[in-house]
Amino acid sequence: MSNYIFAAFKIKKLTVTQTNPEKVSFLKNFAEITKVRLSVSVLFSSIAGYFLGVDTVNYTELVLLCVGGYSMVGASNVYNQIIERDLDALMKRTENRPIPSGRMSVKTAFIIAVALTIIGIVALYAINPITAMFGAICIFMYVSLYTPLKTKTPLSVFVGAFPGAIPFMLGWVAATNDFGIEPGTLFMIQFFWQFPHFWAIGWFLYDDYERAGFFMLPNGKRDKSTALQAVLYTIWTVLASLIPVAGITGRLYLSPVAGVFMGLAGLGFLYFAIRLYKIKTNKVAKQFMLASVSYITLLQIIYVADKFIR
C-alpha cells in the first residue's frame, strides 16, 4: 500500500480507472453520481431566490431548502446516470462516472435516487406544498422528458430549460408560499439563460456528444446559425434580467444603480456570444460557457445585494 501511495504522488494525473474500485470511498462516488458541483450551483440559485423573496430569514426553512434542493437535483442526476449509463461509457468526459466505471451498481444508484427523491420532497413539503410540487415537477421533467429526448431531438434543450429554470424561482416560492409575477420573472430569466449556456457546452463537447448520439445544438451543427441563435437568446436573457428595473414585477425590484451593473455584465456576456458567432471555435465556445456561468452568478449576487443594500 505504501508503494501505491508513493506512486500516486509521483505522477501528475491519476484517473479513477487506475485505482481499485473498492478503495474509492462511497462519499466520493456519492459526490460524483449526484454531480456535487452542479447540484451546489443549482442550490445557490434557490438560496438566492429565497433571499429575494423573504422578509425575515427563517433558518429552519433555509436548511430545509438546502437539504431539499440538493436532494432534488441530486436525485435527478442519479436517475439520469442510470438511464444513460451505456451512453456515458461512450464519452470520454463521462466514462469514469461511478456506474459505467463499475464502481457503483445500478441497484445501489437506484436506491440512492429513490432515497434522495423522498428526502427532497419531504424537506420541501415541510416548507410548503407549493415548493414540494415544483420540486417534484423538476425531477419528473428532467428525468422523464429531457433525458430521453437528448438522443431524439435538439428540442431537448428547450424541454430541459423548464426544470433548469425552476430552482431560482423555487427559493422565492419557499420564502413566500406563493407563485406570482416575481418568481415568474426569475423563472423567465433563468429559462432564457439555459439556451446559450447549453449550446456553448454542446459546441465544445460536440465530438463527445456525437459519440453518444446526443442532439444538443439547435440544428445539430457548429455553424453560424447555431451561433446566431446563441446571440439572440443571450440578448433576451439580458433584457429579461433588466425588466425588474422598470418596477413592473411586484416586489421583485432592481434599483437603477444595480441595473447599470447588470447592463455591464450583460454586455460582457453578449461580447462572448458575438465572439462565438464571429470565430466559431471550441476555445471561444468554452469561454462563452464560462461567461454564461459568471453572468448568472453575478446576476443572483447583484439582485440579492441590491435588495439588502438599498
pLDDT, residue 310, reads 74
Buried b (16+ CB within 10 A) or exposed e, 35-44: bbeebeebbb
Neighbours of 270 (CB within 10 A): 18
Q: Helix, strand, or coil here: 5?
A: helix
Report how far residue 159's alpha carbon sits from residue 150's, in angstroms, rounded to the nearest whole number: 10
| Rounded Cα–Cα distance for residues 111 and 59 (Å) | 29
pLDDT score of 19? 44
In angstroms, the CA 79 to CA 106 distance is 10
CA dihedral 85, 86, 90, 96 (to 10 degrees): 40
The tens-digit pLDDT sequence of the chain (310 residues) is: 434 333 333 333 333 344 444 445 888 999 999 999 999 999 999 999 999 999 999 999 999 999 999 999 999 999 999 999 999 999 998 999 999 999 999 999 999 999 999 999 999 999 999 999 999 999 999 999 999 999 999 999 999 999 999 999 999 999 999 999 999 999 999 999 999 999 999 999 999 999 889 989 998 899 999 999 999 999 999 999 999 999 999 999 999 999 999 999 999 999 999 999 999 999 999 999 999 999 999 999 999 999 999 7
pLDDT at 215: 87
Q: Rg of the chain's alpha carbons, rounded to an integer? A: 20
Q: What angle do CA 102, 104, 108 make, to 5 degrees?
A: 145
